[in-house]
Amino acid sequence: MPNLDDLIDRMTLEEQVSLLSGEDFWSLPAIERLSIGKLRVTDGPNGARGGGSLIGGVKSAAFPVGIAIGATWNPALVAEIGAALADEVKSKGAHVLLGPTINIQRTVTNGRNFECYSEDPVLTAELASGYVKGLQQKGISAVAKHFAGNESEIARTSNSSVIDERSLREVYLLPFERAVKDAGLWGIMTAYNKVNGTFASEHEWLITEVLRGDWGFDGVVMSDWFGSHSTVETVNAGLDLEMPGPTRDRGEKLVEAVKAGKVLPETIRERVRAILMVMERTGALGSCEPFAERADDRPEHRALIRKAGAEAAVLLKNEDALPLSGKETIAIIGPNAKTAQIMGGGSAQLNPHYRVSPYDGFAAALGEENLTYAEGCTNFRFQPLLKTPLEVSYFDNDALSGEPVFTTTEDEAELIWIGNVAEGKVAPDHFSARLVGDYIPRETATHQVGLVSAGLSRLYVNGELVADAWTNWTRGRTYFEEGCDEVVGNVDLVAGEPAEIVVEYATRPSSALGLSAIRVGISVPLGEEAIEEAAAIAAKTDVALVFAGRSGEWDTEGSDLESIALPGRQDALVAAVARANPKTIVVLQTGGPVEMPWIDDVAGLLSAWYPGQEAGNAIADVLLGKAEPGGRLAQTFPAKWSDNPAHSQDPRVYPGKDGEVEYREGVFIGYRHYDRHGIEPLFPFGFGLSYTTFRLGEPVVEAENFDAEATATVSLTVENTGNRRGSTVVQLYVCPRDSGGQRPQKELKAFAKVVLAPGESGTVRLALSPRDFAHFDAEAKGWRIAAGDYDIKIGESSDRVQTIATLTKATDGGLMPL
C-alpha cells in the first residue's frame, strides 16, 4: 500500500483541490505527474448503467430493485447480488457503484420507495451490510445513500427534514451505522435535502461528529449530483467530494479559501486522503487502463436475477389456486402482461440486455398456443412513447434561429440532456432543438398526443399546434422536478396515412440539477369494450392471470405518488375478470403497497415488484411451482393510504410546508405505527405465504446473566411439515413492557431465513446484543437500557408472534458507547 501522506506531500495545493470535485459527470481527474489514475463511478443500485445517459447507452444487467431485495429477507443472497454487481461495475470501466439506497420507507407514496429495502431499520441494515460486503470484497466501493432524511421526492432539493435525534439514531441512521461498523463501508452520499435546517452536504454534525467521530468511518463522503451548494461550508463540514464536474464551488474558489484562511490546509489533506484511500482500495490509484465499457451479458447473472426475482415474490393470498399445474387453459390479462416492468424510474434506470414480460415467460414455459391474451386497460402515466425515426437539429441559441450547428437522428422521442450536448457544439444550458419525423397510425381514430419537457416545448402534427408546453410552461412532477406535467392534445388521424410530427424545444433556467429533456407520446385510448373483452376471455379459461400494477413512470425518483390506488381502470378490470372467473389470480408489479378493493373476490395474489430483466421468467417459475414464492413483506400494506404513519391533515408532516417536513411520528413508523394505533393493515410486515407448511419448535432462551450483560441467545427448531421444499422467515421482536408509550410495542431485532425439504428440520440461533434492548437517550446523548421487563416474541410475521420469554433488567444501565 503506498504511503498516502507522502503522496499528498508531493501534491501542490491546486492538485490536492482538483481531487475534491469531479472532472466530468462520472469521474475524477487524473494527476499524471504523480501517476494517479482516474476514479470512475457509475449509477446503481440495481445494476451498473455506466457513463451513458439515463436512457440508452451500453446495455447492462438489470437486477431486482430495492423493495424486492428487501422482500427476500436474505442477506446472503444480497451479498451474492453485490458480488455480481461488482462484475457489472468492472465491465463499465468504473470503481465505485452508487448504491445501496438505504433510506427508510416512511411513506407508501414516496416515489423512490421501490429503491429502498424496508420500513424497518434492522432489516434494512442487515441487507445493506450484505450488499456492501459482496460488492467491496471484489474491490468495488459501495456508496450508501442518501445520508440522511431523504424519505420523499417532493421538493427534495430544498425541503428540510425535521427529525429529532432519537428518531435519527434509532431509525434513519441505523442502516448507515451498521453498514459502516459491520460491513466496512467505503463510501457515503449525502442527501439533497436539509436536515434540521442545514443541507446534508454541509452538515458537520452528521458527517464529522456522527459518521466519522461516533462510527469511525474512514471512507469518502460525496455529494449527490448538484447537491453541494457552498465552498467553505461543505469542506469544513466534512464533504470530501463535490459531484459532478466540472466544479461549481471548488477548484479556484477553494484554493482562494485556503489562502484566505477560511479552510485549513490540514482540512484539505484530510479530504484528499479519504479520496486516495478509496482509490487505493479499488485499484484506481495507480491504474492507467484506458476507459472502456462492455455489455457483458453473463449467463450466471441471468440465473441469479431469475433466482432472486422468484425469492422476492410475496404470495399474499392463495385459495387453493397456486401453484398451477401447467395443464390449465390460461388467460393472460392486463396492462403489465405483455410489457416487462423490470425497474423503477430515475437515476436507477438503465438500458437492460433484454426484458422478459410475463406473457413471454409463460409462452416459454407452456407454449404461446396455450395462452389467450387481452390488455383490458392501460396503466401508463404518460402517453406511450413515440417510436419513429426523428431528425434532430440543434441550434446554439434558445430561439431556433439561424442554421443548425449539429444534426443527428434518434429512434424515439425522448431525449435527456445532461452535460455534453450535441457533441459539445452547444452550451448545455442554452440551446434549442427541432425534432422532425413521421408517425404512421395503425387505426383511424382520435389520438392523444402527450408532451413533457424540462425546458420549453411545443408539438405540431401536420402543421397544427396540438400540445403547447411553451406559452404557459409550469414546473411539475417530472424529470426530477425540473419538468412540467404532461400536456395532452387530441388529433384525428387516418390509418396508414403518415402524419408529420414537429417538436420545438428550448432550454430554460434549471432549478438545481442542470438537466434538459423532452418526451413525446401518442396513443388511442382504450374504452369499456376492452374490459368486456378481457372478462369474456377469462370466462372461457380455467385460470385468469391479471398482471396489474404500476411502472417506472409512477415509481420514480423526483416524483411522489398522489395516491396508492392502482392507476387507470385496473381496479375495474380486476373486478370484471374476477366476476367472470372464480379462479382469478392477480400479479402485482409495483414499488410499494396499493389499495385493493377487489381483494375478497380473487383466488390468489402475488406481489412480484420490479424483479429485473428476468421478470416474466421469475414470475412464471413461481406461479407454475418451479420456484418457491420466497418473499415476505418488508413494508406493511395498509388497507388505505390514510392509515400510513406519515398521512396527516397537517401538510407539515407530509408532504411539507414552508420548506419543512416534520417527522412527528418519531420512531413509530411502519408496523410500529399500526401497533400503536390499533390499525389492522391489509397485509402485515413480515407476511408471506409458502407452498408448504412449517412448525416452529419450542424455543430455548439463554440469558443467565442478562441483568449484567444484556445479551441473550434464542434457539429453536423449524420443521417443514408439508410436501414441498420451501422457505420461511423466523422473526424475533423485542417488546419493552411499561415504557409509558415512549417505545414501540415491538421492534424487529433478529431474523433468519430457513429453506427446508419436506420433512426436514433445521436449527435457528438468534443472538441479541445490548443494543437490541437499548433506546437512544437524546438528553444524555447515548444509548441506554432502561430497567424493566422485556418480552421476547417469535413468529413468522409481525402480527403472528408469541412471547417465548420475559427478561428482566433490574437496574437502569449506564450510557453505552456510540
Q: Is there a single domain that holds both residue 265 and residue 406? A: no
Of the residues 257, 282, 307, which one is the last residue of a structural domain? Answer: 282
User: For the whole model, what pTM was predicted?
Assistant: 0.95
Mean pLDDT, the chain, rounded, equals 96
> Which residue has cell 457533441?
423
Total domains in the fold of the chain: 3
Question: 120 lies in a domain?
Answer: yes
Given the DSSP bridges, would you call strands 543-549 and 330-333 parallel, antiparallel or unpaired?
Answer: parallel
Contact 203, 146 (CB under 8 A): no
Give per-residue pLDDT as tens, 298-330: 999 999 999 999 999 999 999 999 999 999 999
Contact 548, 587 (CB under 8 A): yes
Q: Report the CATH number that the domain containing residue 101 is assigned in CATH.
A: 3.20.20.300
Give per-residue pLDDT as tens, 123-154: 999 999 999 999 999 999 999 999 999 999 99
Residues of the chain under the 50 pLDDT cut: none
Model pLDDT, residue 675: 96
> Which residue has cell 465505485?
96
**Euclidean distance between CA atoms 804 and 799, whole angstroms:** 15
Q: How does DSSP classify residue 97?
A: E
Owning domain of residue 759: 694-809
The edge-to-edge listing of strands for the beta sheet with 194-195 is 198-199, 194-195, 160-162, 660-662
The gap between the terminal CA atoms of the chain, to the nearest Å, is: 30
- Among the listed residues 417, 514, 517, 424, the one whose alpha carbon sits nearest the alpha carbon of residue 469: 517
Question: 351 lies in a domain?
Answer: no
Scanning 141-222, the segments in alpha helix (DSSP H) are 165-167, 174-181, 204
Q: Report the CATH number that the domain containing residue 711 is assigned in CATH.
A: 2.60.40.10
Question: 373 lies in a domain?
Answer: no
Q: Report the CATH number that the domain containing residue 435 is assigned in CATH.
A: 2.60.120.260
Model pLDDT, residue 1: 57
Please give the single-letter amino acid code of residue 73: W
Contact 143, 177 (CB under 8 A): no
Question: 337 lies in a domain?
Answer: no
Model pLDDT, residue 327: 94
Of the residues 234, 259, 282, which one is the last residue of a structural domain? Answer: 282
Q: DSSP 3-state assignment of 514?
A: coil
Model pLDDT, residue 53: 74
Question: 716 lies in a domain?
Answer: yes
Question: 331 lies in a domain?
Answer: no
Give per-residue pLDDT as tens, 535-546: 999 999 999 999
Model pLDDT, residue 737: 92
Of the residues 465, 494, 523, which one is the last residue of a structural domain? Answer: 523
Model pLDDT, residue 729: 98
The whole-angstrom distance between residue 692's C-alpha and the CA centroid of its chain comes to 31
Task: Count CB-CB contacts under 10 A for residue 406.
Answer: 17
Give per-residue pLDDT as tens, 369-400: 999 999 999 999 999 999 999 999 999 999 99
> Which residue has cell 434538459?
516
By the 10 Å C-beta count (0-12 exposed, 13-18 middle, 19+ buried), 469 is classed as buried
- Give me 538's grid cell: 377469462
Question: 274 lies in a domain?
Answer: yes
Q: Is there a single domain that holds both residue 69 and residue 198? A: yes
By the 10 Å C-beta count (0-12 exposed, 13-18 middle, 19+ buried), 295 is classed as middle
- Give me 620's grid cell: 412464471
Question: 544 lies in a domain?
Answer: no
Sign of dihedral through CA atoms 434, 436, 441, 444? positive
Q: Cα separations (Å) of 612 from 111, 143, 589, 592?
A: 18, 21, 11, 16
Which residues are tagged catalytic?
224
